[in-house]
Structure 1
């Protein structure tokens, strides 16, 4: 049996299946379908013609626009109908035609999205993706399975991200970029294949990072990426030099972490 808060407003042309949980002041518009294992928090608005299905939780204050399909089963070839989840944080905006899939048992069983994220029209979040807070996916961005995106990253229109790739905090991905490899925190990636083009200095400044810190991060970036040799070895070699700069250490530790993908660089993809 459904649990629908007294203050919720369900349009008579919406279809809410038995078992769904609808929070306080939540609005479900006409021609929406809410599945039997869906939980909508408080102050959610599902505008119209949207489908929310699967084992899906939508946080307080989210707004879901027409033609979005949220919580569909994964598109993995190994999908066998096992129980898995999609969890969306608070105050996210999900625009027209967005698709988000639940996880797979092999990938941990959960796809997760943080708070205050913006998903523009026709963007896609595949199975087992893990997204942080304050992320923007512009129109038609495609995340393959198992992609991790850290806080405040911006992915511009039409870019495509290879499975198992990591995108670091406050990275900026240019429009139509093909993201084959991990992108460092604060990195800027453009092209097909994507080439690292320096640091997202504008984003760092907007985030309140002081100019002196940006200069330190730039110095670390140059020491890691300039010249020949292994990126990972050079990052490890300069770590002690930047112990007083958390932002530089974040890049160094990101490079040193285990990953299924190589690190995007200024040279990768060039002849």
Structure 2
């Protein structure tokens, strides 16, 4: 006997795949290519369309739109995808779009993310795990967000920007360039304001590791060194502090230039 709970007013297309324990609330619309994992709850008035897949134990609150076509004029109806992992909380009025062929064909959101109301995740974005997006945070297309990153309310992220792991954006931040791991920024445009020390402590980073990350920050932002020189000095510190390796790897990748 199926344990799927579909409200009588919901419209679920014949091709949709709903796993055991899924709950579909009143007035939802679920398209024919949608797959929903076990125990995921879709509250009232949500619309899930496109080639959209949700994992297990997600909770999607009312009035969300997941899997609609991207806001990209190049999109020509290709069967691109939206993939959402496990145990995510997605609050009211969020909109996540499928990807584009030009951007790899997939928008992806990982596991254990806390997504507050009115968040927009545009086409071809890649969001990691354990992130927090406060109300009205917005990602333009092709943005990459690392694990444990926090975006404050009304943060706006420019297309193709990378947001490093464990970073923190204050409320109202406008992020036009790449944000390195561990760094805190705020303002329009974003400016650096130290490291996310409190977040690192909460996640179990040792005092020695946090001190090393703070030294790396000073090399990057307060030493007067060029970016290449700072990266070389940080690499020397990483020999004994492996927590710095993600920062070195991030700085080595091409992008839009870092917030500096």
Same fold? TM cut 0.5: yes
Residue 95 of structure 1 aligns with which residue?
A: 91
State the TM-score, normalizing by the size of structure 2.
0.97
Q: Which runs of 5+ in 1 are unaligned?
A: 266-271
**Does residue 125 in structure 1 map to residue 150 in structure 2?**
no
**Does residue 196 in structure 1 map to residue 192 in structure 2?**
yes
Task: Say whether the 8 Å CA contact 2:26–2:45 is kept in structure 1.
Answer: yes
Q: Distance in 2 between matches of 1:165 and 1:127?
A: 13
Q: Distance in 2 between matches of 1:237 and 1:215?
A: 15
Q: Distance in 2 between matches of 1:55 and 1:166?
A: 25
Q: Distance in 2 between matches of 1:241 and 1:211?
A: 15
Shift in Å at residue 192 of structure 1?
0.3
Residue 268 of structure 1 aligns with which residue?
A: none
| Ranges of 4+ aligned residues in structure 1 off by more than 2 Å | 227-230
Shift in Å at residue 237 of structure 1?
4.2
Report the more deviating stretch, 232-241 or 86-95: 232-241
Matches within 5 A, 1:50-199: 50-199=46-195
Q: Distance in 2 between matches of 1:53 and 1:224?
A: 44
Closer, same or farther: CA 205–35 of 1 in aligned 2, 3 Å: same
Residue 34 of structure 1 aligns with which residue?
A: 30
Match of 2:212 among 194, 213, 216: 216
Q: Distance in 2 between matches of 1:145 and 1:246?
A: 32
Closer, same or farther: CA 97–220 of 1 in aligned 2, 3 Å: same
Q: Secondary structure at the match of 1:215?
A: helix
Q: Distance in 1 between matches of 2:67 and 2:143?
A: 17
Residue 258 of structure 1 aligns with which residue?
A: 254
RMSD: 1.1
Q: Distance in 2 between matches of 1:35 and 1:236?
A: 51
